Chain A
């Protein structure tokens, strides 16, 4: 954490986004939540280094930054997998069987809700309510929201997306080998 304001931070464009957000709020301490939101948007998660950076810049004790960050559900402290599936577990989705979808994916990938596969390919997450209750149960796969899902349809789409990107990577790999 000692290098948090070093060249590493200056060269990374994403730090500029955080700086801009802090500037917008005049480096006021009450901007903490907004700044953490921007930070997570830029980096995808809040690492210890990032929390330290925010703490330094806003002059808020790291303990307080950590306390605020861990209080709210939307902040995550580990990077997400290459692909992710968020399953809505709101009341409407619950009564329409969203827990069956969670179980199916959890079993298929051998991870719990909130975890990422060891190879970093897939993360399984749940959400409180996505507000599409009329189309329950709702899942979000790589940012695409779809309603009226079943364990089968969700699992199939997740597998397709993972297989597709594996193919692309494989193809790129082969191409670069041929070129070499």
Chain B
């Protein structure tokens, strides 16, 4: 099918949507679901049905993450010619209030049904209407309204997440209506693979998986590599605990991931691709599989992509829980059905990857950044961010903060703005202690560096890394040596065992930490710890081992006094015993 037919579909869908006076969006992503969004969504649907409105009065849409997960479930009401309203903490009772606020409730003869005991049956409309009237009388909806002028929203710049929370992830038509697959159509019709690589290079986009390698350069290596068959892999094995950016993008805007992936495949000349997704993300797997099915049916995937002579198809591969599979060569082994152990590099995957064919592997967020870059131009993207780190970065803001959730900010924003404006600071009575970025491969940044602009270079200078986007805020209730041990526990478990420095070194680091935390430490243990960390870092084969000591090294740098206090305590106790 060529793109003009898809545009017709998009136009039809837009017209359908414009007919509605109200569109009620209920977040049904994992975080809101665990706050009870399932019940909220069905209450919205049933009470809206009970209002028996005219055909084009209202539509309830199950959509994706709106960002402020800690206040979930979130519901947004879009009314024609009126500003949008977002409601927070929407329990089924609040959902009734929302419907009562926005929709006319038809009258009933009898109005005492709401007082009866027991649950309301799904099609008992008079009963729902009685409950709606009751909810209307109770009022008190104002306290659930979320101000969109809050810095949580105003400080964000949405490029990757732009459609999430607006688009229905299950519908290809809705994605098209939001301008979907336009970038792909433009690329196929007007650009050579070389042009595409140049455009991405010019935009300054760097790998969002954590290492920050320039994406355009990687694609160029893939494009120039010699091979009859090439592969494009999207890395959705988000193993970093405390991070869920990729999950959200895959669950809530799966076609965007697919579109970016097909553009990448065209740029490098790949004919087949895999989306490698964590087994722990069943909804993401299901939605990507659905997106692939729908895309195939409409000729977006297959032997003639959008009616051109470019052919590309893709499939989902399900990971089974191994942190090391985030490393690209380990991921390749896993796609091949083997143990996910890293390979020696070089040769790099762009030369010899999946089944020894040239393979480009990009993170989910990286490929999701591609369609907007094509649509708005590389200059537009490069205007966001700092000199060396362009564009935006999605962070999963979590930990001991007032506002936690998923945010997208321009590179170069300071940690202070993220923590105090977007996150509204740590909970009352506590003080900020550290920001942990990059998960088990990253480090802890202390309060002294809150004004550092966040980009790849600065975070590295501070002994941490950008990582995939986990950002966990810690207050004074957390002990840093114990926090470091938490990550070391993780790395000991996740070390694949292939190389000795990582397999043995992480265990030895943990043993030293155990000793210190148990109050058995000697003064020279800190030096030993530091030496060991540097050794593991220098001698390990892959990124996991090379970065595993980061949490320890960074806490040793910024919170050495906490380690020293553990030793001091011991010395004091011994002195007291004497």
Give B475-529 interface residues, CB cut-off 8 Å to A.
478, 483, 486-487, 490, 496
Q: Tell me the smallest distance from the CB of A91 to a CB of chain B, in Å.
A: 3
Instruction: Give the contact stretch, choosing among B75-83, B301-309, B345-353, B397-405.
Output: B397-405
Residues of A within 8 A of B487 (CB): 91
Q: Is B33 an interface residue (CB 8 A)?
A: yes
Nearest B residue to A90 via CB reads B241
Contact of A96 among B243, B247, B340, B400 (CB under 8 A): B400
Q: Tell me the smallest distance from the CB of B9 to a CB of chain A, in Å.
A: 30
Report yes or no: A134 in contact with B280, Cβ–Cβ below 8 A.
no
Give B416-436 interface residues, CB cut-off 8 Å to A.
436
Residues of A within 8 A of B439 (CB): 91
Report yes or no: B240 in contact with A134, Cβ–Cβ below 8 A.
no
Residues of B within 8 A of A89 (CB): 241
Report yes or no: B69 in contact with A132, Cβ–Cβ below 8 A.
yes
Contact of B399 among A31, A95, A131 (CB under 8 A): A95
Report yes or no: B320 in contact with A134, Cβ–Cβ below 8 A.
no
Give A1-60 interface residues, CB cut-off 8 Å to B.
29-34, 36-37
Nearest A residue to B490 via CB reads A128
Nearest A residue to B318 via CB reads A37
Give A52-87 interface residues, CB cut-off 8 Å to B.
67-68, 71-75
A33 to B334, CA, bound (A): 8
> Interface residue tally of chain B, by bracket?
35 or more
Report yes or no: B31 in contact with A95, Cβ–Cβ below 8 A.
no
Given A71-B340, A72-B320, A91-B242: A134 in contact with B405 (beta carbons within 8 A): yes
Q: Tell me the smallest distance from the CB of B279 to a CB of chain A, in Å.
A: 5
Report yes or no: A128 in contact with B280, Cβ–Cβ below 8 A.
yes
Given A91-B241, A133-B243, A145-B33: A72 in contact with B321 (beta carbons within 8 A): yes
Report yes or no: B280 in contact with A133, Cβ–Cβ below 8 A.
no
Q: Is B30 an interface residue (CB 8 A)?
A: yes
Central interface residue in A33, A74, A92, A146, by most chain B CB within 10 Å = A92
Report yes or no: B241 in contact with A34, Cβ–Cβ below 8 A.
no
Q: Tell me the smallest distance from the CB of A83 to a CB of chain B, in Å.
A: 18
Contact of A131 among B281, B334, B478 (CB under 8 A): B281
Given A31-B337, A133-B244, A145-B34: A128 in contact with B323 (beta carbons within 8 A): yes
Given A67-B339, A147-B35: A134 in contact with B321 (beta carbons within 8 A): no
A23 to B391, CA, bound (A): 44
Residues of A within 8 A of B318 (CB): 33-34, 37
Report yes or no: B399 in contact with A132, Cβ–Cβ below 8 A.
no
Report yes or no: B396 in contact with A133, Cβ–Cβ below 8 A.
yes
Residues of A within 8 A of B30 (CB): 130-132, 145
Give B1-54 interface residues, CB cut-off 8 Å to A.
30-31, 33-35
Residues of A within 8 A of B474 (CB): 95
Report yes or no: A133 in contact with B398, Cβ–Cβ below 8 A.
yes
Contact of A134 among B281, B400, B406, B496 (CB under 8 A): B406
Residues of A within 8 A of B68 (CB): 134
Nearest B residue to A130 via CB reads B280
Q: Is B461 an interface residue (CB 8 A)?
A: no
A145 to B72, CA, bound (A): 14
Q: Is B335 an interface residue (CB 8 A)?
A: yes
Report yes or no: A74 in contact with B321, Cβ–Cβ below 8 A.
yes
Nearest A residue to B244 via CB reads A131
Q: Is B470 an interface residue (CB 8 A)?
A: yes
Residues of A within 8 A of B244 (CB): 129, 131-133
A147 to B32, CA, bound (A): 9
Report yes or no: B280 in contact with A138, Cβ–Cβ below 8 A.
no
Q: Tell me the smallest distance from the CB of B559 to a CB of chain A, in Å.
A: 15
Q: Is A136 an interface residue (CB 8 A)?
A: yes
A23 to B510, CA, bound (A): 45
Residues of B within 8 A of A33 (CB): 317-320, 334, 337
Nearest B residue to A70 via CB reads B339
Nearest A residue to B71 via CB reads A134
Q: Is B368 an interface residue (CB 8 A)?
A: no
A138 to B32, CA, bound (A): 12
Q: Is B70 an interface residue (CB 8 A)?
A: yes
Report yes or no: B242 in contact with A92, Cβ–Cβ below 8 A.
yes
Chain A residues at the B interface, C-beta cutoff of 8 Å: 29-34, 36-37, 67-68, 71-75, 89-92, 94-96, 127-136, 138, 145-148
- What would be 24 A-B contacts, judged by CB atoms less than 8 Å apart? A33-B319, A33-B337, A34-B318, A68-B339, A72-B319, A75-B320, A91-B242, A91-B436, A92-B241, A92-B404, A94-B486, A95-B472, A96-B399, A96-B400, A131-B244, A133-B31, A133-B472, A134-B68, A134-B70, A134-B72, A134-B396, A135-B31, A135-B34, A135-B35
In the A-B complex, list the 7 residue pairs whose CB atoms are closest, starting with the nearest: A134-B69, A91-B242, A90-B241, A72-B320, A131-B244, A92-B398, A73-B321
Known pairs A95-B478, A133-B472, A147-B31. 9 more at Cβ < 8 A?
A33-B317, A68-B337, A72-B320, A91-B241, A92-B399, A94-B241, A95-B472, A134-B396, A134-B405
